[in-house]
Chain A
Amino acid sequence: MNIIEIVCDNISKSYSGKSIFKNLNLKISSRESLTITGRNGTGKSTLIKVLSNLVKNSKGRITVRENGKDLNAETWFLRTGLLTPYYNLYDELTGSENLRFFYELKLQENKKEEFINERVNFFLHEVSLYDKRNELVKNYSSGMKQRLKLAFAVINEPEILFMDEPRTNLDKYGIEIMNRFAGAQKEKGILIIATNDEDDKQLCDRTLNIEDYR
């Protein structure tokens, strides 16, 4: 089994001179999980964005390693999945079209049509959206959109899964689905959740309070 590691060496992030967090050191490996906590506006989401390479850190170094070998930062997106409130999928496409488009984009080799269909349908079943697969996403409820985003985050079976406030818009049934994916991720890779929810904290082994790095 591949061992993936994220190593943060003294990283800091500031916007327009205002420090969000500083001198943060972190090492997390496969089969480990971490909760990032902190009050609203203290930088939990920013840290998730920095770790998932959506935003560059201002200082320090982040390395993602596979079996001890550094990975090119430009290919991290192939290893990660992200579930956050600050992006949307395409409203004008159906749920099935969205998943298919993003899955095909992440594929590194040509796959047969049947293989792609099977995989997309499997994940639509997993998030209980198979019956609504041919409806435009703009007609989905906010909970259904969040479940589709969950399928989008995990469809490429990422080694690293980031979740930022994952319960947003989810009902009890949706939370059960989310917990199932989070549990599966802990078994095979890295799980990082930004949350203040006590139940979410129970999902992870370690906790990092972002307010300790202000």
Chain B
Amino acid sequence: MNKTIRASVLIFRKDIKSELRTRYVINSLLMFVLVTISIIRFALGDEKTENEILTGLLWISIFFTTSNGLSRTFVKEEEKETSVALKLSSDSIPVFTGKLFFNLVLTFALNFLILILFILITDYTIKNLTGFLITIVLGNFGLVSASTIIAAIISKANSKGTLYPVLSFPVLLPLLITVINATKLASLGIDTEKLSGELMILVSYTIVITVASFMLFRFVWED
């Protein structure tokens, strides 16, 4: 196996094992998801709500859950003072790749849960399931790519909590506008072919952010 892939897999496996033992991220995020979904349920009451509004609420839940959890992957290494041992043992590329895949797994698992709960407690209807799922998957890829590099940058700062939303909002804004629009259109039953413009933007955004992240990470990690 190529040594970069082998090292990335090792770091990914280590992060999964650490998370399962400490529940550093999972427990707080599960609570966050439950509280957010409950608040949405109480706020909506029995009123019939339009899909446009529900789509916005769905992405608010996804965005805040993700931003709450993904920032912790690098912050934990800094807070526990383990990042130096990692730097002494690995090149920067496997570290970023391992963390990126860990965040992807975490995000997909949590967002699957959010989606199920959201559909169960609201009258959210999805008329074009294929287009909807493609949008959610691409949106998650973009969200994770951008959030992982921002998490690496803020882990070096003193005011980590406040810096994350300040940095992530402008970077994620193009993604959020596009993904919310595409999700709304898919849920209303617009054909997947007609969503191709939005989907292309999501694919392009993810590729650009991921490539830029790999180029930037070395400087963030080695500083």
| In the assembled complex, A102 has its CB within 8 A of some CB on chain B | yes
CB-CB under 8 A from A16, the residues of chain B are none
Asked whether, in the complex, the Cβ of A52 is within 8 Å of the Cβ of B10, the reply is no
Q: Which of A20-28, A88-96, A175-183, A185-193 interfaces with chain B?
A: A88-96
Query: Are B17 and A106 in touch, CB under 8 angstroms?
Result: no
B17 to chain A, nearest CB (A): 7
A149 to B17, CA, bound (A): 20
- Decide yes or no: A89 and B85 within 8 Å by CB, A105-B10, A105-B90, A110-B6 being known contacts: yes
Secondary structure call for the B interface: helix
Binds B, one of A61-69, A79-87, A125-133, A198-206: A79-87
Known contacts A104-B10, A105-B7; is A92 also within 8 Å of B22 by CB? yes
**A 144-172 binary contact with B (CB < 8 Å = 1; else 0):** 00000000100000000000000000000
Number of CB contacts from chain A to chain B under 8 A: 67
User: In the bound complex, do residue B14 and residue A101 qualify as a contact, i.e. CB atoms below 8 Å apart?
Assistant: yes
B162 CB–A CB distance under 8 Å: no
Q: Are A54 and B84 in contact (CB under 8 A)?
A: yes
Write the B66-106 contact mask toward A (1 if CB under 8 angstroms, else 0): 00000000000000111111111111001000000000000
Contacting pair A87 B82 (CB below 8 A): yes
B18 touching A77 by the CB < 8 A rule? Answer: no
Tell me the minimal C-beta distance from A154 to chain B in angstroms: 12
- Which A residue's beta carbon lies closest to that of B22? A92
A80-B88 in contact (CB<8A): yes
Q: Is B179 an interface residue (CB 8 A)?
A: no
User: In the complex, A132 Cα to B11 Cα: how many Å?
Assistant: 24
What A residues does B83 contact at CB under 8 A? 87
Please indicate the chain A residues that have their CB under 8 angstroms from the CB of B1 in the complex.
Answer: 110
Q: Which residues from B are CB-within-8-Å of A92?
A: 17-18, 21-22
- Please name all residues of chain A whose beta carbon is closer than 8 Å to the beta carbon of B10 when the two chains form the complex: 101, 104-105
Interface size, A (range): 20 to 34
Interface of chain A, helix or strand or loop or mixed?
loop
Query: Does A108 lie within 8 Å of B81, measured CB to CB?
Result: no
Tell me which of B7, B85, B223 contacts A87 (CB under 8 A).
B85
- Does B48 belong to the interface (CB within 8 Å)? no
CA distance A166 to B17 in the complex (A): 30
Rounded to whole angstroms, the CA-CA distance of A86 and B222 in the bound complex is: 16
Q: Which residue of B lies closest to A52 (CB)?
A: B88
B85:A102 contact, CB within 8 angstroms:
yes
Chain B stretch 2-18: residues in CB contact (< 8 A) with chain A: 3, 6-7, 10-11, 14, 17-18
Measured in the bound complex, the distance between the Cα atoms of B1 and A110 in whole Å is 7
CB within 8 Å of B: which A95-123 residues: 97, 101-102, 104-110
Cβ contacts under 8 Å, B7 to chain A: 105
Chain B residues whose C-beta falls within 8 Å of the C-beta of A74 in the assembled complex: 91
Distance to closest chain B CB from A95 (angstroms): 13
Binding site for B on A (CB under 8 A): 52, 54, 56, 74, 77, 80-82, 84, 86-93, 97, 101-102, 104-110, 136, 152
Apart from A89-B85, A90-B18, A101-B10, what 13 extra A-B contacts exist at CB < 8 Å?
A: A54-B84, A77-B89, A80-B88, A82-B84, A82-B88, A88-B81, A88-B82, A92-B18, A92-B22, A97-B17, A104-B6, A107-B3, A152-B85
- B interface residues (Cβ-Cβ under 8 A, vs A): 1, 3, 6-7, 10-11, 14, 17-18, 21-22, 80-91, 94, 222-223
Report, nearest first, the 5 A-B pairs whose CB atoms are least far apart. Answer: A87-B84, A105-B89, A92-B21, A88-B81, A102-B89
10 inter-chain pairs at a CB distance below 8 angstroms, sorted by A residue, are: A54-B88, A56-B222, A77-B87, A86-B84, A87-B82, A87-B84, A93-B14, A105-B11, A105-B86, A136-B21
